[in-house]
Amino acid sequence: MPLRLIFMGTPEFSVATLQALHAAGHTIVAVYSQPPRPAGRRGLELTKSPVHQAAEKLGLPVFTPVSLKSEEEQQKFRDFNADAAVVVAYGLLLPKAILEGTKLGAYNGHASLLPRWRGAAPIQRAIMAGDSETGMMIMRMDEGLDTGPVALTRIVPVGKDTTAGQLHDKLMETGASLMVEAMAALRDGEGSLTLTPQSAEGATYARKISKEETRIDWLRDARDVHNHIRGLSPMPGAWCEMELGGKLERVKILRSARVDDMGGTPGEVLDDLLTIACGSGAVRLLELQRAGGKVVTAADFLRGATVDKGHRVQ
C-alpha cells in the first residue's frame, strides 16, 4: 500500500524528492511551499517556487500559507489524514501541532552529516570549512533545529575543487533516492525504519550566508580563499574589486585553483594568468563574471580587460 504523504519544500533542491516519491507510487495528498515571490529585473512579477511549479505539472494540490501557527492552518493540515509529512528545505519552522499532524510524523531530508551543519546553509558551510565529506540524512523531526533522531545516512565525498553548485546537484539526487528508501521502510511497518538519536558532540551551525561575508579577504591563506570561492559558487558568488578601464569594478569569482608555490602581497596579481597572492600561497582565478555579464573563463575575461602583473585587487 502506498503512503499518504504531505510534501513540504520550496527550492530546486526539493523538486527531485517530490518527483521521486510521486514516481514511487505514494499518494501526495498536498504540497506545501513558500508563497510566490517577486522576481524579474524589476521585481514586479510574482513567481511560484520550483516545488510549486513541479507540483502543478504533476497535478498535485499546492498550498502556500505565510505561517502555520494558526489553528485554522493546523486543522487543515490534520484534515488531510496523511500517514507522514516529508520536508525538504521548506523554509518555515514547523509548530508542534504540524509535527504531530500526521500518523507517523514528519521526516526531513537534510544535506549534512548531522549533528554537523545544522541550519540553513549546510552545503556552502561544509565547503567553506574545507570538509572532505558530507552527506544526506533522513531524520524524524522534533521541535529543535535539525536535532531529531536519524533514520538513514548516505555519505558523499567532497573533492578539493568541488563547488557548492556541483555538490548541491549530487546531494539533491542522493536525497531523493534516500527519502524513497525511508518511506518504503516506513510503509513496511514498525521496526523497519530504525531511528538513532543524534550525538550531543560535534554540533555546528550552518548559518545563512550573509552579503557581508561574500567579499574575498585576500589576507586569508590560499586554502581558505579557494574554499570561500567554491563554497559560494554559483550563488551568491564570492567577489572582489578590480581596476578595469580606470575604475574599480566588482567582479564575481566562480572558480579558482590553489597555487601554493607562489606568493606576494595579499591581493597582488602575480602573473598574466590571474594568479592572485593570498596571506600565504596564491589562487588562480579560472571563471569570472563582471556585473551584468556572463560567466567567462579567465582567458576570455582578459581579452576584454587588462589586469597587469603587479596590479592589486581588493
pLDDT digits (tens, 9 = 90+) for 276-289: 999 999 999 999 99
pLDDT, residue 173, reads 98
**266 belongs to an annotated ligand binding site:** no
DSSP string of 186-244? HHH-TTSS--BPPPSSS--EEPPPPGGG-B--TTS-HHHHHHHHHHTTTTT-EEEEEEE
Which residues, 6+ apart, have CB-to-CB distance to 119 below 8 Å? Answer: 125, 145, 146, 205, 206, 207, 208
If you average pLDDT over residues 181-191, what whole number do you get?
88
Residues 54-73 pLDDT 10s:
999 999 999 999 999 999 99
Counting DSSP H helices and E strands in the chain, the numbers are 8, 16
Cell of 108: 526531513
Which residues, 6+ apart, have CB-to-CB distance to 73 below 8 Å? Answer: 65, 67
**114 belongs to an annotated ligand binding site:** yes
Residues 226-268 pLDDT 10s:
999 999 999 999 999 999 888 899 999 999 999 999 999 999 9
Q: Which domains does the chain have, with CATH numbers?
A: 4-206 (3.40.50.170), 211-303 (3.10.25.10)
pLDDT, residue 1, reads 80
**115 belongs to an annotated ligand binding site:** yes
pLDDT of 85 > 90? The answer is: yes
If you average pLDDT over residues 3-27, what whole number do you get?
98
243 vs 190, higher pLDDT = 243
